[in-house]
Structure 1
């Protein structure tokens, strides 16, 4: 029997992926594999369990045990939009360890919730998960927008993750993802300043250890400089336009 393993991140794309896999292959050999980064919105886990109950499949949750900030401290490197060691250590490695133990590449397929608008990511993801076969059901027609996936979940009787209603494009890291740009961080400052300030405090702690480094960058006269969250907030509070 082929094992069908969905990378079940708690995002709406991974949910839609699981629904398509279940429709094609049933749920007897369906695995919903979720990685706990200890940095997610509690409502993400509410949705993960609600979605699992709807499919009749209990999610399998794996964890490294650290938070992203602990990973950054351990590796003396703050994640950013280009390099995010938190993803590698808190998601990819625990999931790969589970796959190695429980899903032989020859009798299992891995499914990732990247959709048709992100197809540029497919080759790298496919290479990264070798030797497992990787499929991307949401890259296949009928193509759905994120809004259509959210509507689909509602029609199934599920309440979508609240981060989408708060204006975030993705349901990860409680809106404080190091891969995000200035726009999302400013949005976080507006809708959840306490979460922004918590991330700012963690960044400042690491800056005290590592020097003038930051999640964000800005360019001035063609040169890239660190842009600390504290400085971005100061500019926002004084009405200074982001660069």
Structure 2
């Protein structure tokens, strides 16, 4: 049985670069690009990935060859939060568990023999500390992070490689986002990313702000994605409150408080 090379393909530049290294070393004959879509059946352009990511996903997959495996659990993140009665945040992202980790794992177990399969993720050398958790979470499959190995690349290097191959990167990078996943909205994001989303995509921000308010009403709890740490205490800060403080210049946002996605780099039992 030929050895399978399975790349967790996020529709961002990093996962393409990781897959490119796999193809350069092993070819694309037994390559599988596994994309777990968080949009579900929601027709809203603000749900799931940014619309340009879907363009990039198809173009990047065509460049790499192999088979693009498109998975969808059926729900979007807000449906998960509603059904699970829990609002995801920087510590616990149940959207990752239900919409990405589980569908990908189920596909792996249904289609791939652990003894004949290597799984690849797109983290780079700056996130190498996450690798032990990745290895544990994918066992008994072998998990590898190609971008944690030399030659080491930064985001600009990867974007240059994309342009050299005639591939336009996802537009979110040009719009100031460090990560191009989940439409620029991720419960793991820091305040700087939410501020940027409010600035460049106010309609998308408003969509998520409304969904957060609706969920708070549904749960009857004072929950939020963001936290207010002023005065030495930590308390919830809703997207509505954050927007109003930004608009009224009542908050100093750390420009380096970007946060980050980690859908395939944490163990599911830690996100349960």
Q: Same fold (TM over 0.5)?
A: yes
Give the gaps of 5 or more residues in structure 2. 40-47, 254-272
Name which of 173, 176, 183 aligns with 1:174.
183
Q: Name the counterpart of 2:251.
A: 241
Say which SS state the counterpart of residue 34 (structure 1) adopts.
strand
The aligned residue for residue 5 of structure 1 is 6
Residue 168 of structure 2 is matched in structure 1 by 159
Residues 105 and 132, structure 1, Cα contact 8 Å, conserved in 2:
yes
2:198 is matched with which residue? 189
Say yes or no: does 1:17 pair with 2:27: no
Matched, 1:98 2:99: no
CA distance in 2 between partners of 1:85 and 1:92 (Å):
10
Residue equivalent to 2:77:
68
1:214 aligns with 2:224: yes
Q: Shift in Å at residue 220 of structure 1?
A: 3.2
Aligned to 1:223: 233
Q: Distance in 1 between matches of 2:235 and 2:94?
A: 21
Q: Secondary structure at the match of 2:229?
A: strand
Shift in Å, 1:43: 1.1
On the 8 A contact 1:49/1:58 being kept in 2, the answer is no
Q: Equivalents in 2 of 1:183, 1:160: separation in Å?
A: 22
Distance 1:236 1:222 in 2: 20
Tell me how many residue pairs correspond in the alignment.
Answer: 243
Q: Give matches, 1:81-96, under 5 Å.
A: 81-96=90-105
Distance 1:177 1:16 in 2: 22
CA shift for structure 1 position 200: 0.1
Q: Distance in 2 between matches of 1:168 and 1:33?
A: 23
The alignment's C-alpha RMSD in Å is: 1.0
Structure 1 position 45, deviation (Å):
1.2
Task: Report the secondary structure of 2:6's partner residue.
Answer: strand
Unaligned runs of 5+ in 1: none
- Cα distance change of structure 1 residues 242 and 206 upon mapping to structure 2, 3 Å threshold: farther
Q: Which residue of 1 aligns with 2:123?
A: 114
Aligned partners of 1:207 and 1:213 also within 8 Å = yes
In structure 1, C-alpha distance between the alignment counterparts of 2:34 and 2:182, rounded to whole Å? 17
Deviation of 1:181 after TM superposition, in Å, equals 1.2
2:214 corresponds to: 205
